[in-house]
Amino acid sequence: MRKASIVILGSLMVVAAIWYFTASQDKTADVSDEIILAEAEPKEIYGYNEEDFYIEQSVIGKNEFLGSILDRAGISYDVISTLAQNAKDAFDVRYLREGKPYAIIWSNETQQALEFIYQSNPFRYVSYQLQEPYKVEVKEHNIETCVETFSGTIESSLWNSMKDVGAIMELISKMEDALEWSIDFQHVLAGDEYKLVYERQYINGEAVGIGKLIGAYFKNYDTEFYSIYYENEKYQGFYDETGRPMKKAFLKYPVRFSRISSYYNPRRFHPILKRTRPHYGTDYAAPYGTPIRAVADGVLQKVGFTKGNGNYIKIKHDKVYQSQYLHMSRFAKGMKSGVHVKQGQTIGYVGATGLATGPHVCFRFWKNGKQVNHLKQNLPPPDPLPESQLEDYLKTRDIVKGELDQIPIFKLEASATVSDTSEVVDNLEAFLLE
Ligand SMILES: [Zn+2]
């Protein structure tokens, strides 16, 4: 996963341009320095230089406790119990989890263990001083941010295209954030192209996460979309080339990482009832437990259960539109009638309650009290940025668009085409249910 095909922006000109862009977002860090640091800095782990200290690194084993590890390192029981006491406010020592990395720092000079480090997550670690005053504290790693690019061509689906080049889920998800109002990712075509400029976070030269997505480009058949991230005191989000928000009143679909398994069809043959029965919704098939999102801001009208619908939620968005989500395995926390929800907010999870052959969401959309096909609705576009902000935005746009246009398209070898998606779904589940 980590070996993504990434073109690190190399030329000084590019670095300068990106620096200009990030500086305008009130970042004091000099990105050009950081890019060099991330590649060339000598190896330091947890702030200790490998030349002066012996850094013993391992992972927590089965049934292994802090006491047993420290005992092996020659720490007395008195000290261990002092540490456990001092750790109370910082970190509960009972929560050392099997498989998590830890380190013991040894002094080359005195051969004594100086510090025990437990890596609770990639960004934070717990430090136990093994010498007086036996302080225990949670520390954060220094994160270096680099600007990187990524590109690809769709062979069969977005998932396959990104999986084959080793893209990380986080990046795919951010691309959806930037473009989901314009592009129906369930209907991308072979030959469609995309390019991304984004921040990647490094700790000690190791990639640990994706930062902000700075810009995205998508060519869907012959239509090109640019989505540029912009923020100032009043506005924040993705904008198109003319300064209109990418964000529309309604999301195109309620479940990410899904596929349409049945369309809105007033004359459908029902697979369970074995007779013609209108299908006034669009079915999105997705793994059990995948989050279901409110497609727009609104107020919950109904949170309930019927034999046909299973667990379902109905949302009133405004005087004209309502949406409904059926067959949920369960509701998200706090969902009850009268509650306000935001666009994109998780309201429940995919299931197969009610009349359903497999896990999916039956998504229904009402206009003026009548069920309609949401895929056929022409909803009004949002207003562009006001004139006063536009000039500033266009400067950012020109820089980011210039970057996107320079990225070469990464094309897959013909032999790398993969049609099996089961592995992708497994990854997705792991990712979504984490
Ligand atoms: Zn349905």
What does the pLDDT look like over 150-165, one tens digit per residue? 888 877 666 665 655 5
**237 and 275 housed in the same domain:** no
Torsional sign, CA 130, 131, 135, 140: negative
The predicted pLDDT at position 164 comes to: 52
How far does the centroid of ligand 1 lie from the alpha carbon of residue 280, in Å?
7
**Two structure tokens written together for 117:** 């480090």
**119 and 200 housed in the same domain:** no
How far does the centroid of ligand 1 lie from the alpha carbon of residue 263, in Å?
8
- Among 90, 125, 140, identify where a domain stops: 140
Q: Closest Cα partner for 197 from 344, 24, 15, 32?
A: 15
Instruction: Check if the beta carbon of residue 101 is closer than 8 Å to that of residue 125.
Output: no
Residue-wise burial string across 293-305, b where 16 or more C-beta atoms lie within 10 A, e elsewhere: bbbbbbebbebee
The predicted pLDDT at position 165 comes to: 53
How far does the centroid of ligand 1 lie from the alpha carbon of residue 224, in Å?
32
Residue 131 in 3-state DSSP? coil
How far does the centroid of ligand 1 lie from the alpha carbon of residue 190, in Å?
27
Residue 35 inside a domain? The answer is no
How far does the centroid of ligand 1 lie from the alpha carbon of residue 378, in Å?
22
The predicted pLDDT at position 353 comes to: 96
**135 and 196 housed in the same domain:** no
Q: Which domain holds residue 306?
A: 259-369
**120 and 133 housed in the same domain:** yes
Residue 26 inside a domain? The answer is no
Global pTM reads 0.64
Determine the angle formed by the axes of helices 387-406 and 12-23, rounding to 10 degrees.
150
Backbone φ, ψ for residue 279 (5° rounding) = -110, 100
- CB neighbours of 75 closer than 8 A, spacing ≥ 6? 113, 130
Report which secondary-structure segment, H or E, holds 71.
helix 66-72
How far does the centroid of ligand 1 lie from the alpha carbon of residue 434, in Å?
27
Q: Closest Cα partner for 116 from 72, 178, 149?
A: 72
How far does the centroid of ligand 1 lie from the alpha carbon of residue 169, in Å?
28
**227 and 278 housed in the same domain:** no
How far does the centroid of ligand 1 lie from the alpha carbon of residue 367, in Å?
18
How far does the centroid of ligand 1 lie from the alpha carbon of residue 281, in Å?
5
Residue 122 inside a domain? The answer is yes
**238 and 222 housed in the same domain:** yes
**210 and 275 housed in the same domain:** no
| Residue that the structure tokens 């990106």 belong to | 18
Distances (CA, A) of 428 to 159, 187, 199, 286: 10, 19, 22, 10
Domain count, the chain: 3
How far does the centroid of ligand 1 lie from the alpha carbon of residue 273, in Å?
13
**265 and 335 housed in the same domain:** yes
Rg of the chain (C-alpha set): 26
Q: Which CATH number belongs to the domain containing residue 180 in this structure?
A: 3.10.450.350
How far does the centroid of ligand 1 lie from the alpha carbon of residue 373, in Å?
12
The predicted pLDDT at position 378 comes to: 81
Residue type, 390: L
How far does the centroid of ligand 1 lie from the alpha carbon of residue 295, in Å?
16
Give the pLDDT confidence of 33-56 residue by residue, as tens digits: 333 333 445 567 888 888 889 999
Residue 37 inside a domain? The answer is no
The predicted pLDDT at position 38 comes to: 39
Residue 156 inside a domain? The answer is yes
Residue 13 inside a domain? The answer is no
How far does the centroid of ligand 1 lie from the alpha carbon of residue 390, in Å?
43
Instruction: Check if the beta carbon of residue 210 is closer than 8 Å to that of residue 173.
Output: no
Backbone φ, ψ for residue 140 (5° rounding) = -110, 140
**162 and 241 housed in the same domain:** yes
Residue 25 inside a domain? The answer is no
**91 and 70 housed in the same domain:** yes
- Among 140, 161, 179, identify where a domain stops: 140
How far does the centroid of ligand 1 lie from the alpha carbon of residue 182, in Å?
24
Q: Which CATH number belongs to the domain containing residue 317 in this structure?
A: 2.70.70.10
Distances (CA, A) of 349 to 123, 154, 171: 29, 28, 22
How far does the centroid of ligand 1 lie from the alpha carbon of residue 374, in Å?
13
The predicted pLDDT at position 431 comes to: 35
Low-confidence ranges of the chain (pLDDT < 50): 1-40, 412-434
Backbone φ, ψ for residue 383 (5° rounding) = -75, 145
- Among 109, 140, 171, identify where a domain stops: 140
Cα 61–67–70 angle (5° rounding)? Answer: 85
**355 and 269 housed in the same domain:** yes
- Residue ranges in 379-432 assigned as alpha helix (H): 387-406, 422-432
DSSP classification of residue 245: B
